[in-house]
Amino acid sequence: MKKNKLGVPLNEVFAGSEKDPQWAEAYAKADIEVRLAIQIARAREKAKMTQSQLARAVGTTQSVISRIERANQNLTVKTLSRIAAVLHATLVIQLRHPHAYK
C-alpha cells in the first residue's frame, strides 16, 4: 500500500514563530538563501500555488522550486525576477552597510 505524502502548511510550521525572540534572532542571522527560501515558500502558499504550478509558470521544474524552498539552490537574479513576477511581488535587491541605518 502506497502512503500519501502530505505536507504541512507553512502557516502551521511558523505559527507564532515570528513572535518568539529566539526565532526572530535566528531568522535575522540566517543567510540570505534561507530568508529567500522562506519568503518564496510563503508567497507561493499565499498565492495558493503548488511547487509544480509555480515551476510551470516560472519555466522550471518542481524539483528546482523544492531546492529553492530548502535553500539548496543557487539562484540567479533572472530566476528570482521570474518567481517574483509570477507571485505578483516586487523583487528588491540592494547592498547596504550593516550600520548605515542605526
Answer whether residue 5 shows pLDDT above 70.
Answer: no
Give the confidence band of 1 by pLDDT, cuts at 50, 70, 90. very low
How far apart, in Å, are the Cα atoms of 92 and each of 19, 50, 95? 25, 24, 10
Going by the DSSP 8-state scheme, the letter that residue 88 receives in this structure is T
The per-residue pLDDT for range 69-99, each reduced to its tens digit, is 998 888 999 999 999 999 999 999 988 777 7
Read off the pTM: 0.69
CATH 1.10.260.40 is the classification of domain 16-86: yes
Per-residue burial over 62-99, b if 16 or more Cβ lie within 10 Å, else e, is eebbebbbebebebeeebbebbbebbeeeeeeeeeeee
Answer whether residue 18 shows pLDDT above 70.
Answer: no
How far apart, in Å, are the Cα atoms of 78 and each of 25, 44, 81? 30, 18, 5
